[in-house]
Amino acid sequence: MKQKVLVFMSIPFLIWLFIFKYLPLWGWTIAFQDFKPAQSLLKQEWVGLKHFKFLFQDEHFLQVMRNTLAMSFINLVLGFVTAITLAILLNELRKVMFKRTVQTISYLPHFISWVVAASIISNALATDGGIVNELLMWLGIIKEPILWLGEGKYFWGILGLSEVWKNVGWNTIIYLAAMTSIDPAQYEAAEIDGANRFQRIRNITLPGLKPVIIILLIMNIGNLLESGFEPQYLLGNGMNVDYSENLDIFVLKYGIQMGNFSLSIAAGMFKTVVSFILLFSANHIAKRLGEDRLF
């Protein structure tokens, strides 16, 4: 009973967890009812799987799922690659002033709200005087301004780049922190052995980062159905709706805006179950491969 004090100290947090994370699960029953607000959960009308049926039988649902997964996947891959690359580049910099400046500039967009960011993006992509079209025309790559947000096929790309622009600096922070824990003696030894920069990156920095990368990857795979809501909602329009509408927007339109909270809960449950499966599979695979894992 050496840990008695520690156990006691954790009790308030367990209570907190129970009240705020487990008690609300009771609300999942709403998914099986036609929920009317301001009445007790017990007085609601039970409708069985009606809302799940609506969700899965809607002809748009497959498209919405495809968009959600595709955008998530793009964000995941682009997010990892760009953040790790930038972190490694920053780590190689010796001029502290320059490094700090680059870092600050790159993570500032993270603090802009998506509402403002979407405005900036759609202004940059405008056909009359938008910087992207002007630049491409000046370079002679295109002759006519392109209606970037009006073509569905460009949407995923635009979204991916916007996410990178907004979050790359912020995402590097954790990798930079991980790099500081790598023993400098390793670099020195490698240098004495005649390893050049790229060899040092490949053989020391990247392996040093591996545990962080894998843990983050497992956690992010669990969130694969969360492709974000604001950028898609703010940049989406009728012309790119086939590519921009994701699960969250679908739920907003047919659930929350119509006061159909039951449908929203049903979709939320679906997301939770899928996330749960994905998280456990990713963790299991990591275990099988003998890598670090979440639990």
Partner 1 sequence: MGKKRFWLSCLTMVLLLSMLSACSGSKESGQEKNKDQSSGDSKEKVTFTYFNAATGRDKNTNETRIGKIFEDQTGVNFKMEHLVGDENTKVGTFIASNNYPDVIVPGGSIDKLLGAGAFIPLNDLIDKYGPNIKRVYEPYYNLMKAEDGNIYFLPLSAVVGDYISAPDIEQGAFWIQRRVLKEAGYPKIKTFDEYLNLIRDYVKKHADENLTGYLALTTQDKFFSFTNAPMHLAGYPNDGGVIIDMKTHVANDYADDDYTKRYLQELNKLNAEGLFDKSSFVDNYDQYLAKVASGKVLGFFDYKWQVGQSMANLREAARKSGNDDLEYLALPIVYDANIKDQYLDPPSFVNNRGVGISVSAKDPVRIIKFFDNLLTDENQILSNWGIKGETYMVDDKGRFYRTAEQVAETSSESFRETFGFKYFEYSWPRYGSGSSLPDGNSVGASRQPEVAQMSYSEGDKKLLEAYGAKSFSGLFSDPDDRPWYPAWSIQIEQGSPAQIFTQKKGDLQRKYFPKMVLAAPSEFEGLWQEYVKEFNKLDVKGYEDLITKEVAKKIAIVQGKK
Footprint of partner 1 on this chain (CB under 8 A)? 8, 11-12, 15, 19, 36-38, 60, 118-119, 122-123, 126-128, 147, 149-150, 234, 237-239, 241-242, 253-254, 256-260, 263
Nearer to partner 1, 257 or 272 (CB): 257
Nearer to partner 1, 167 or 240 (CB): 240
**Minimum distance, C-beta of residue 252 to partner 1, in the bound complex (Å):** 10
**Minimum distance, C-beta of residue 237 to partner 1, in the bound complex (Å):** 5
Rounded-to-10 torsion of CA 289, 291, 292, 294: -20
Nearer to partner 1, 86 or 263 (CB): 263
Q: CA 233, 238, 239, 244 torsion: positive or negative? A: positive
Half-sphere exposure of 180 (CA within 13 A, CB side): 5
Nearer to partner 1, 172 or 244 (CB): 244
**Minimum distance, C-beta of residue 164 to partner 1, in the bound complex (Å):** 21
Say if residues 156 and 70 touch (Cβ distance below 8 Å).
yes
**Minimum distance, C-beta of residue 283 to partner 1, in the bound complex (Å):** 32
**Minimum distance, C-beta of residue 259 to partner 1, in the bound complex (Å):** 4
**Minimum distance, C-beta of residue 170 to partner 1, in the bound complex (Å):** 24
Nearer to partner 1, 105 or 256 (CB): 256
Nearer to partner 1, 161 or 201 (CB): 161
In one letter, which amino acid is 173?
I
